[in-house]
């Protein structure tokens, strides 16, 4: 089944002022908008002219009107012949279509460019928001907000410019023409008919929204049930629950069937009411016209003109219920998308932030840093340490001790609650975010790759790097043999989030990517946690070989990976409890030594198994 469109709750206040947010994105094409409006007016004038031509054709053929219509007496005879009028009718109908197409062509560029600029602005802003926003967001919902917002802009522009505004222009012209040519009774009946039609459509559309919403929810429920069951196909087979799944799916389909029936009945009420108003209005006007024709005050052509005007007028109004509902939804969706632009990042930089100079070795220092993700839970408590330029320092500790939080503060994903983080003696809060993050390479514990080739995922570390540089880091990360064994080699697609690769393979890609960036600071966050012992040993040797070129921060749970670090900092419950080389810490027989002995016992036990 196809999923129905979104419905906006009638109780939701629609913010019409959101239209102002669109104006800056439309102002670039003022000239195009001007000519589109001119074409719109010309198209409507051509439309309004058609009933007049029908009137003149009918009058010229009518036996009761042997003379030329008064309005055409000043024209040469050959222009007012029935054939000429028919040709003119065809030309005006063609002009209506031509000017409409020109209007669409001119304005479509405006709409598409506005959507492009808004989407780019939202995309850039989302990347500028801090990590806390992205940890809390729901990716699917965020993507749907953007998708619905762009669709809403497209719908709003298309229907406001191509439907609502032209219809309002035509209504005004028709009421004015009937009022001037045939008296106040014709103008008043037309005005009251249009107002009654619009009020009825708006009220009934708001009323039937609950039935449309119920149908959509039932549709979503049945789709969710079907997809969930099919995704868990093997589980269904394990327990022979095919009939059970079918019954649950049928229950959802039954609710959908009932909701759709109510929806259809409410649509019947809307369509029937609109038809009644249209029929009553046309009947009233035709009655007035027939009476005037019988009294000799109007011609048969006038009768045709009045009928043509009313049919022409109510055709676009037939879609009013749909347009009104969709415009409400569009405005809500646009407001949601623009709401994303109003979100301010918690981590921001000052306008006078200076760029970090990276053409020299860099040192790192934490000064009495306190930090908690929430006020109720403090993660780091008075952390102070310094890593000299080109020094390799490891931070170790049990899970939840705050090791990875230190790297996040260094990358300035968060700001400390108190204290400061410095690079080369400069507080990173005074430096530009881009320059700080450009100076740091990261090999994360949980490597996420783009759904692209292995080669492109590695090149992401430096999109301007040469093929030779990429080949070098592939070899450095011990990926050469693995890539050679693949049918498509370096062009092998890794799948969404890199799911086609094992954890160890992804980590090697991450190492190659980070090294390719050639930053002065490297963070290895459990960089070998998913590797087998042979690959881990080989890569650790290469990392140690490289560590002389970087200032390295190694975050590790497995102590065997950091024994050769220049210094090891032991963190427990957010506090530094020990610091020194591996041998110094072992000699102290403190917390580090206890961790080492516990891990060695586990290692021996695993090897015996």
Q: Can you list the domains of the chain with their CATH numbers?
A: 16-341 (1.20.1560.10), 362-439+520-609 (3.40.50.300), 447-518 (3.40.50.300)
pLDDT at residue 65 greater than cutoff 50: no
pLDDT at residue 252 greater than cutoff 70: yes
Distance of CA 398 to CAs 461, 559, 592, 597, Å? Answer: 30, 11, 10, 14
Q: Report which secondary-structure segment, H or E, holds 422.
A: strand 418-423
Tell me, what's the pLDDT at 64?
Answer: 44
Q: Which of 510, 509, 314, 519 is nearest to 435 (CA)?
A: 519
* Mean pLDDT score, 411-435: 87
Tell me, what's the pLDDT at 4?
Answer: 42
| 595 C-beta neighbours (distance < 10 Å), count | 18
Which one-letter DSSP state was computed for residue 570? E
Q: Please enumerate, as own/partner, the contacts of 214-218 that have beta carbons within 8 Å and a separation of 24 or more.
A: 214/259, 214/262, 214/263, 215/4, 215/256, 215/259, 215/260, 215/262, 215/263, 216/3, 216/4, 216/5, 216/6, 216/7, 217/259, 218/252, 218/255, 218/256, 218/258, 218/259, 218/260
Q: Which of 107, 113, 103, 92 is nearest to 46 (CA)?
A: 92
Distance of CA 106 to CAs 96, 113, 161, Å? Answer: 15, 12, 11
> Among the listed ranges 7-21, 227-241, 430-444, 516-530, which one has the minimum average pLDDT value?
7-21
- Its sign, for the CA torsion 481, 486, 491, 497, is negative
Tell me, what's the pLDDT at 17?
Answer: 67
Tell me, what's the pLDDT at 139?
Answer: 54
Distance, CA of 482 to CA of 99 (rounded, Å): 63
Tell me, what's the pLDDT at 32?
Answer: 82
* Mean pLDDT score, 387-411: 86
Distance, CA of 6 to CA of 213 (rounded, Å): 8
* Mean pLDDT score, 77-105: 76
What digits encode the pLDDT tens for the residues 10-22? 454 555 666 677 7
What digits encode the pLDDT tens for the residues 561-598? 788 888 999 888 888 888 888 888 888 888 888 888 88
Of 54 and 491, more confident: 491
Tell me, what's the pLDDT at 5?
Answer: 47
pLDDT at residue 67 greater than cutoff 50: no
What digits encode the pLDDT tens for the residues 500-555? 777 777 878 888 888 888 888 888 887 666 566 666 666 666 666 665 578 888 88
pLDDT band at 137 (very low <50, low <70, confident <90, very high): low
> Among the listed ranges 303-307, 347-351, 368-372, which one has the minimum average pLDDT value?
347-351
Tell me, what's the pLDDT at 133?
Answer: 63
Q: What is the mean pLDDT of the chain?
A: 78
Tell me, what's the pLDDT at 533?
Answer: 62
Contact present, 31 and 39 (Cβ < 8 Å) = no
What digits encode the pLDDT tens for the residues 308-345? 888 777 777 776 667 777 777 777 777 777 777 777 76
Distance, CA of 602 to CA of 274 (rounded, Å): 79
């Amino acid at each position: 089944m196809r999923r129905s469109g979104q419905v906006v709750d009638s109780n939701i206040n629609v913010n019409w002022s959101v239209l102002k947010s669109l104006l800056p994105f439309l102002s670039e094409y003022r000239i195009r908008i001007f000519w589109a409006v001119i074409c719109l007016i010309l198209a409507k004038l051509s439309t309004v002219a058609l009933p007049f031509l029908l009137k003149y054709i009918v009058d010229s053929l009518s036996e009761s009107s042997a003379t030329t219509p008064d309005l055409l007496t000043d024209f040469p005879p050959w222009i007012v012949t029935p054939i000429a009028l028919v040709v003119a009718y065809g030309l005006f109908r063609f002009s209506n279509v031509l000017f409409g197409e020109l209007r669409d062509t001119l304005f479509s560029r405006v709409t598409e460019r506005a959507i492009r600029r808004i989407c780019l602005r939202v995309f850039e802003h989302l990347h500028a928001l801090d990590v806390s926003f992205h940890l809390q967001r729901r990716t699917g919902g965020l993507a749907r907000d953007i998708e619905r917002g762009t669709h809403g802009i497209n719908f709003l522009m298309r229907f406001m410019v191509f439907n609502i505004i032209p219809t309002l222009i035509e209504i005004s012209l028709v009421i004015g023409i009937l009022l001037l040519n045939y008296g106040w009774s014709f103008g008043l009946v037309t005005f009251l008919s249009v107002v009654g039609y619009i009020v009825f459509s708006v009220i009934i559309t708001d009323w039937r929204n609950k039935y449309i919403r119920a149908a959509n929810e039932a549709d979503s429920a049945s789709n969710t049930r079907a997809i969930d069951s099919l995704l868990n196909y093997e589980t269904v087979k394990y327990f022979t629950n095919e009939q059970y799944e079918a019954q649950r799916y049928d229950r959802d389909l039954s609710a959908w069937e009932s909701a759709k029936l109510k929806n259809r009945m409410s649509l019947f009420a809307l369509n029937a009411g609109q038809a009644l108003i249209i029929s009553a209005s046309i009947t009233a006007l035709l009655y007035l016209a027939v009476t005037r024709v019988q009294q000799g005050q109007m011609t048969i052509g006038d009768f045709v003109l009045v009928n043509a005007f009313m049919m022409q007028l109510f055709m676009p109004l037939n879609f009013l219920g749909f347009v009104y509902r969709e415009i409400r939804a569009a405005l809500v969706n646009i407001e949601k998308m623009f709401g994303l632009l109003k979100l301010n990042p918690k981590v921001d930089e000052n306008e006078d932030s200076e760029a970090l100079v990276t053409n020299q070795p860099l040192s790192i220092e934490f000064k009495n840093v306190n930090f908690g993700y929430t006020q109720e839970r403090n993660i780091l408590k008075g952390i102070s340490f310094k890593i000299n330029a080109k020094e390799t320092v490891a931070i170790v500790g049990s899970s939840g001790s705050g090791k990875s939080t230190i790297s996040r503060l260094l990358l300035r994903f968060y700001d400390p609650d108190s204290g400061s983080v410095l690079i080369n003696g400069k507080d990173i809060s005074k430096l530009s975010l881009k320059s700080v993050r450009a100076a740091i390479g990261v090999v994360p514990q949980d490597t996420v790759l783009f759904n692209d080739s292995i080669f492109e995922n590695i090149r992401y570390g430096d999109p301007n790097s040469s093929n030779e540089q990429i080949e070098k880091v592939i070899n450095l990360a011990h990926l050469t043999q693995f890539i050679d064994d693949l049918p498509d080699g370096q062009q092998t697609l890794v799948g969404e989030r890199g799911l086609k690769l094992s954890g160890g393979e992804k980590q090697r890609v991450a190492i190659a990517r980070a090294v390719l960036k050639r930053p002065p600071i490297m963070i290895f966050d459990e960089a070998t946690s998913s590797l087998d012992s042979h690959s881990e040993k080989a890569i650790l040797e290469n990392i140690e070989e490289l560590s002389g070129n970087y200032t390295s921060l190694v975050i590790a749970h497995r102590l065997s990976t950091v024994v050769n670090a220049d210094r090891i900092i032991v963190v427990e419950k957010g506090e530094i409890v020990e610091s020194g080389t591996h041998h110094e810490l072992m000699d102290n027989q403190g917390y580090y030594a206890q961790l080492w002995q516990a891990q060695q016992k586990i290692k021996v036990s695993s090897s015996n198994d």
